[in-house]
Structures are given as C-alpha cells and as structure tokens.
C-alpha cells in the first residue's frame, strides 16, 4: 500500500530504543536493571496463586481505570509511611510503569512547541516522551544538589522573553537518573517556589526513592507542595521487577482527573495487581535485602573506578539507585566508541549524550549501571572497560 | 493551583465510562464480560508458576516493546491455523487489550478533523478513541451482513466533495459489537476493494473471532488483503480474561513500524505473557468449553426475548460473541429509563445510542450481553426487564 497520502500525526520516538533488544553483553552496565538474581519470581507466583484463589473470577470483569483498589490502598499507606505523602486510594492511578506516568503527563499537558524544563542530563525515556508530544525539553544547569535556582529563574525569564510557553518541570529528585545525586531539601523548596511563582506543573519522578542504602531520606516535592502543582509518579519496576509493568501516579484535582482520562490500554492488569498486592507484606524486607545487594555492587564499581579511572575521570558517588555518572576529559567521545566496545569487549555503558535534550552534548560522560552483574563481575568488567578505553586512546 | 493557564492538549473521553465502577446489578446485561465462572484463574496461576520457575529472572529485564517472543510465536501459529493469516512473530505487537490496538491506530493515523468511517452502530470504546484524537467518526448504513457497499461509496464521495480527509475504516467483522452479525465474505471483498480504491486503512477489530458456536468461519479482511491496507487486532480478553490486559496487533511495513513506536507503557508485562504462553496449549479446549457455555446463555436470552418481547421488538440472533442487539419501536427511549431500571429492578442493559457516533441516534435499541450471569439468571432477568419495561410503558 502506498502511504504517501497518510500523514502520521505523531512524531514518536522509536520505543525500542529504550529497551534491550535481546542481545546483552557479558558486562551490562548500559541499562539500569534491578538485580535479576533477587527478583522474587516464585514468591510472586505464590502470591498470585493466593490472590487468584480468592478473587480469580474477577479477572472476567472490566474494573475501573484506576486499577485494583486494595493495591492502591497499600500504596496510600506506603506513601504516607515512606514519603509522608497523604493521599487516599482514590487519588492514586496505577500505570504501566513510571514510563506511562510520564507519557500521560506529557499527553495531557503539552501542545506542540511547549517547553518542559529538565536537568542538563536527565532520563532518556522522559526526554523521548516530551519529544513524542512535540514538546521542547530545555536544559537547566545542575550541580550535585540539583537544578541551580538562579539558572532556573534565568532560563524561565529568557524563555518568557522569547514568547515561549513553559508547561512543566520534569525532575527525578531521588538518585537522579543518570547523575545519581538527590535534590537537597533547600533546592526542592526553591524549585517548588519557582513553579508556584510561574504557575508551572512539576512532574516528580520518584522511581528510585526506595533504593536508598546510605544517608537520610529527603522529603518529596509532593510533600512540600500545598498548592497542587506536583504530579508524583513512581514504580515497582526497581523494587520488584520491570516485568510487572506496574507504576503509580498521584496528583490533585483537575490534573488527576485528566490523567485518568489519558490512561491508555485500560487499567493495570488485575493479574499483575493481585500478585503485587498479596506480595506487598514482604516488600519492605525485600527492599532491605536488595539494597544490601545493590550497595555491594555499587562498591565494586566504585573500586573498579578508583583503580582504573582516577587519573582521567571524576564521578558522583550515589547514596542509592542503580547507576554512577562518570565524567571524562572534554575531548573524549564515548558515543563514538560505544558500539565497538560492546562488540569487541563485551562491555556496555550508556554515553552521556543520550541523556541530553539535544542528544549531542555530553559525549564525554557515561552512565554505568550496576544492577545486572554480580559484584565480582562488575569489578572484572571495569577492568575490561578500562583496557578497552586505553586501547581506544581515551584513558 | 490555578489551571487557567494550562490548556490541556487532548480532548479525551472519560475512560471510566467504559468500565464498570464496582457497582454491578444482579442481572448485568450491560457489559460484555466473558463467563466469570469459567475463567481459568488457577490454571493461569499454575502456568505462571511454571514460567516463573524457568524464566523468572528475566522479569528483571527490559524486553523489546513487542513483548515476549514465545507468546508472539504462539500467536503466529494460531493466526495461521484459525484465521489463515500468515505473519511471523516479528510482525506481531502485544498490546494492553484490543483497546490499546485501537488507541495506537488512532494516535498514529489521525490528525484533528480526519474522518473514520464506522458502522452505524459500533463499539463505543472505538468511537471514544477516535474522538480522543479529535477524529470524526462518520456512520455508514449497515444491514445484517455489514456495511452496504453502495452506502459506503456514497459516503466516501460525499465526504470527498466536502473536502474532508478520510483516513480509515473501523470494522468489527466477527460478531459485530453491538449488532451481533458478521460481515459476509462478499461484503468483506467489497469493503476491501473500496479501501484499496481510495487508499484507506482498515482497522479490523477481530476481538470476538474465537467465540463462534454456530456457522462457518469467514476469512479475515487481513487474509483477503494483499496490499497491506489492514491493521488487524484481537485480544485474549474474551477467550481468557480481560484482567490479563493482553491483546495483539499485526500490520505491514510502515504501519507496523509506527504502531510499535506508538505503544504506550512499555511491553505487555512479562508476568502476564509468561502465564498466557504456558497456558496456551490448553486454550483451544478452553475456548470450546466457554463457547458451549455462551451458547446456552445466548439461548436462555433468546428464550426470554421470545417469551416477553416478541410483540414489541426485533433482534438479531448471533452465531457467536457475547451480545444480542434488540430494536424496539421508534418512539421508545431506552436511554431515558436505563438508570431507573438499573436502580429499581437490578437489571442493566446498554442503550443503543451509546454505540452511535453522535451518541444520540438509536435510543430505541439496546445491547443485551449474556456473558456474566448463568442461563437461569438470564432467563429470570429477562422477565424482570420485561416487567420493568411494561411499568415504564415501553413494552
């Protein structure tokens, strides 16, 4: 068929780019997987069996778009306990991962050309969703505590002078992806004040909040916000498994109403929700266990970095999450050698420019994720990566 | 927060309107549920256990957007066997129910104001997705074999004269929802020829194709099409359970590439796909079993109709599917009394106007779905419905 007379209406990203394509290197530092060996697959299948035994017939029904209410009730309790966020089960929408929460937010708020303010380097899936809805992600300079308030205000003023419409600020405040820092309390207050001053929505992507293995938790922007500016999203992908495709979104008033109307594909499957709900009483201890594992993996990667990269790179030591952000000398191009290192040395990493709104800035940075391999493999893989980099003349 | 300066970009339907809201009447003829008592909940949980035992660690990974390949391979085989459709696993995209297949198609093809040709009464979820992307569903007159080819051509010519852009034809060829007829082979060929002549895409929603308990199968439009005009979607919602939220889409070339790029929320959960895949060798016999059950339910409803409605209504006897389409006298308004009958008599039905593009035509029709209740309850409920209708003066 000739498609010449069919103009596709959406400029969508290639979704496959976010996901692995089945070919994984031996040392997979490219994607922020949780630890595969501690995925509670059998506990989840037992949880599902228990749930199906009592409520299996309900699989025949079309439930409300918000998803299984007992799981939303669990989340209401969890958000109150862990993040001091007060929302009822009725103010929570289950989503297909945090990614769908981002999709929903962009779909409901963006008109073509609208600006979304983002960190100078931020989650590539967030950037892709902004561009999918023809939004314009504009970077704001950050340091190790998050967006610089002066830079934020200056960027807003410049864009307003240019006649641009700014709709929202996208943030990953806990263990920012890819940079690893968390936004300090003071900065959170400053960013929130800017959002209130300019009547902007904040999309707070708290996907990594449970993965803290050092330091004290910092209040969520949603907790600090009393004016309903914050759409808060998170996910079970990093604490249970991405293969569940279960995240959640909460917001106030009209924002929440519209989010429900934009949810695609019906509710999160009851089949998934039943399993997570019946498993939920084991979740806190599971998170403790995986955080111990991830900390040892982080330490293995930090040891590898110290041993091989100290002379040529700097990095941020994260207190949680799944990745370390590494900066090399300005002239280094890690994008250019990525495929060769993958193919030749069986090691992957994510070049920094993938996290930049222009997809070009930051080729001398890389994100190294340590969720997939064991600590021993990570340490070994860092040696392989260093050898590859020396061969390529960048180390 | 004041939202006055935030213009929401999408005119979305209230998704909650498609789904039950938790309050179900005793006699629930309003929604096309599959039979709850035969949902294979424990078989699915056993299937999941077996899948998780061998591939549970893969829940930690981010797989390709198309979803679990062994399940797509099963679908490739099933489509070849049951529908004579030749597609490889790589040409199949798993979706969150057939509803997401509709969403994807509308998102990728529609610009605001574009026309989608639809049956005079068609699936309300399809209409809602067309309107969500600001498309204009234009009805074409049907009889008991589907769209009338002359009416289709005349509608196309009229719209072209008016300068309108027509993008696609949305069809439910097997046990059309809500009308229950299937499009005859001759009509399928005529509609396909019209699509080819005018270079239109056909979205073939074959969600009910497996639910045939009488008569011979009719080839899919996708089978007849040799030019890549047909996007074919179907679902496990009616054969296994809507609570799995697993459907599938196949198309050719650029249409398929764009469909993958528009898939929201990542792939269908591996947790769901593993269960369906390991259950799939039981699916054919399960379908035989539920079709026996549904036929007895249909017969109970037909008996109730014959007993109570013969003087005042006509209906289409479906050879499969989950619903009967009933026409009453022109002056009857079944929309007006629907809520009262629900509340007073504990019986629900879906007024015909909900399936009309203008949401107003067809108030003297109703769709009666027979998946939820037992045959005995159905027969009893039809008596209650007749009594309510007599009281309301419409019977």
Pairing between strand B313-315 and B323-328? antiparallel
| Domain boundary assignment for chain A | 23-40+285-391, 42-282
Contact call for B109 and A6, based on CB within 8 A: yes
CB-side exposure of B72: number of CA atoms within 13 Å?
21
Assigned token pair, A73: 């009730």
The tens digit of pLDDT for each residue in B231-290 reads: 999 999 999 999 999 999 999 999 999 999 999 889 999 999 999 999 999 999 999 999
User: Which of A31-35, A66-70, B2-6 has the largest mean confidence?
Assistant: A66-70
pLDDT of residue A63: 78
Q: Is the pLDDT of residue A70 over 70?
A: yes
Burial group, residue A3, by CB count within 10 angstroms (0-12, 13-18, 19+): middle
CA-nearest residue to A267 within chain B is B245
pLDDT of residue B11: 39
Assigned token pair, A387: 């050898």
Give phi and psi for A149, each to the nearest 5.
-55, -40
CA–chain centroid gap for A300, Å, is 23
pLDDT of residue B178: 98
Band (A23; pLDDT cuts 50, 70, 90)? confident
Report, at the CATH architecture level, how domain B24-39+285-391 is classified.
Alpha-Beta Complex (3.90)
Chain A residues near residue B278 by CB distance under 8 angstroms: none
Distance CA A240, CA A277 (A): 12
CB-side exposure of A119: number of CA atoms within 13 Å?
30
Q: Could you tell me if B193 and B152 are in contact, meaning their C-beta atoms sit under 8 angstroms apart? A: no
At B182, is the secondary structure helix, strand, or coil?
coil
Chain B residues near residue A94 by CB distance under 8 angstroms: none
Give phi and psi for B245, each to the nearest 5.
45, 60
Residue with tokens 């020829």: B193
Distance CA B44, CA B29 (A): 27
Residue B248 to chain A, least CA–CA distance (Å): 12
> With pLDDT > 70 as the criterion, what percentage of chain B qualifies?
94
Distance CA B230, CA A13 (A): 23
A287-300 average pLDDT score:
98
Contact call for B12 and A53, based on CB within 8 A: no
Distance CA B198, CA A285 (A): 61
SS3 readout for A204-219: EECCCCCCECCCCCCC
Assigned token pair, A156: 């807003």
CATH topology of domain A23-40+285-391: 3.90.1150
Burial group, residue B351, by CB count within 10 angstroms (0-12, 13-18, 19+): buried
CA–chain centroid gap for B240, Å, is 15
Contact call for A59 and B372, based on CB within 8 A: no
CA torsion, ordered B27, B33, B38, B39, to nearest 10 deg: -130
Distance CA A302, CA A370 (A): 10
ipTM passes above 0.95 = no
- Which residues, 6+ apart, have CB-to-CB distance to B311 below 8 Å? none
The tens digit of pLDDT for each residue in B214-231 reads: 999 999 999 999 999 999
Band (B24; pLDDT cuts 50, 70, 90)? confident
Out of A12-16, A201-205, A306-310, B164-168, pick the least confident: A12-16
CB-side exposure of A48: number of CA atoms within 13 Å?
30
Chain A residues near residue B228 by CB distance under 8 angstroms: 1
Assigned token pair, B27: 């006699």
CA-nearest residue to B135 within chain A is A9
Band (B63; pLDDT cuts 50, 70, 90)? confident
Tell which phi-psi region holds residue A146, choosing left (phi > 0), alpha (psi between -120 and 50) or beta: left
Residue with tokens 């060798």: B281
B71-99 average pLDDT score:
97
**What's the whole-number average pLDDT of chain B?**
94
Chain B residues near residue A228 by CB distance under 8 angstroms: 1
Among A60, A90, A273, pick the best mutation site for testing chain B contact (most B Cβ within 10 A): A60
CA distances (Å), origin A306, targets A315, A358, B341 = 10, 31, 74
pLDDT of residue A13: 39
At B171, is the secondary structure helix, strand, or coil?
strand
Q: Could you tell me if B346 and B385 are in contact, meaning their C-beta atoms sit under 8 angstroms apart? A: no
Q: Is the pLDDT of residue B331 over 70?
A: yes
Band (B6; pLDDT cuts 50, 70, 90)? low
Pairing between strand A247-250 and A230-235? antiparallel
Residue A276 to chain B, least CA–CA distance (Å): 11
Q: Could you tell me if A264 and A101 are in contact, meaning their C-beta atoms sit under 8 angstroms apart? A: no
Chain A residues near residue B99 by CB distance under 8 angstroms: 265-266
Q: Is the pLDDT of residue B10 over 90?
A: no
Residue with tokens 């900390």: A295
Report, at the CATH architecture level, how domain A42-282 is classified.
3-Layer(aba) Sandwich (3.40)
Distance CA A181, CA A316 (A): 7
pLDDT of residue B264: 84
Residue with tokens 């409803």: B301
CB-side exposure of B154: number of CA atoms within 13 Å?
8
Q: Give the closest of A13, A109, A266 to B8, CB-based.
A: A109
Chain A residues near residue B2 by CB distance under 8 angstroms: 199
The tens digit of pLDDT for each residue in B354-393 reads: 999 999 999 999 999 999 999 999 999 999 999 999 999 9
Pairing between strand B201-205 and B166-171? parallel
CA–chain centroid gap for B305, Å, is 24
CA dihedral (A114, A117, A121, A126) positive or negative: negative
Element (H, E) at A80: helix A69-83
Q: Is the pLDDT of residue B22 over 70?
A: no
pLDDT of residue A62: 83
- Which residues, 6+ apart, have CB-to-CB distance to B285 below 8 Å? none
At B289, is the secondary structure helix, strand, or coil?
helix
- CA proximity to B223, closest of B188, B254, B190: B188
Residue A70 to chain B, least CA–CA distance (Å): 13
Residue A185 to chain B, least CA–CA distance (Å): 22
Distance CA A73, CA B359 (A): 35
Assigned token pair, B362: 């067809």
CA distances (Å), origin B271, targets A87, A363, B27 = 28, 36, 33
């Amino acid at each position: 068929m000739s498609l010449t007379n069919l103009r596709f209406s959406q400029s969508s990203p290639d979704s496959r780019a976010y996901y692995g394509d089945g070919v994984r290197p031996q040392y997979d530092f490219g994607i922020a997987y949780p630890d595969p060996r501690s995925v509670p697959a059998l506990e989840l299948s037992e949880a599902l069996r228990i749930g199906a035994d009592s409520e299996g017939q309900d699989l025949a029904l079309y439930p409300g778009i918000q998803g299984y209410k007992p799981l939303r009730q669990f989340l209401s309790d969890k958000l109150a306990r862990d993040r001091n966020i007060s929302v009822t089960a009725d103010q929570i929408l289950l989503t297909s991962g945090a990614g769908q929460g981002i999709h929903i937010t962009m779909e409901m708020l963006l008109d073509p050309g609208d600006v979304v303010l983002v960190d100078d380097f931020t989650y590539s899936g967030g950037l892709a969703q902004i561009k999918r809805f023809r939004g314009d992600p504009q970077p704001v300079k950050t340091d190790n505590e998050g967006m610089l308030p002066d830079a934020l205000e200056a960027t807003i003023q410049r864009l307003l002078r240019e006649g641009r419409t700014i709709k929202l600020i996208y943030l990953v405040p806990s263990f920012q992806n890819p940079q690893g820092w968390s936004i300090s309390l003071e900065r959170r207050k400053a960013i929130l004040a800017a959002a209130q001053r300019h009547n902007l929505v904040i999309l707070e992507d708290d996907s990594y909040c449970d993965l803290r293995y050092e330091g004290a938790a910092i209040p969520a922007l949603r907790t600090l916000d009393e004016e309903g500016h914050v759409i808060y999203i998170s996910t079970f992908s990093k604490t249970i498994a991405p293969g569940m495709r279960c995240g959640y979104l909460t917001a106030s008033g009209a924002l929440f109403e519209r989010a429900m109307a934009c949810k695609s594909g019906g509710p999160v499957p009851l089949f998934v929700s039943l399993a997570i709900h019946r498993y939920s009483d084991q979740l806190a201890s599971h998170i403790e266990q995986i955080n111990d594992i991830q900390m040892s993996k982080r330490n293995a990667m930090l040891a590898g970095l110290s041993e091989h990269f100290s002379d040529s790179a700097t990095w941020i030591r994260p207190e949680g999450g799944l990745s370390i952000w590494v900066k090399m000398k300005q002239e280094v191009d890690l994008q250019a050698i990525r495929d060769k290192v993958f193919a030749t040395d069986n090691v992957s990493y994510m070049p920094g420019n993938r996290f930049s709104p222009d997809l070009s800035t930051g080729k001398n940075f890389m994100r190294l994720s340590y969720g997939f391999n064991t600590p021993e493999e990570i340490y070994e893989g860092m040696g392989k990566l260093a050898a590859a980099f020396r061969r390529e003349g960048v180390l």
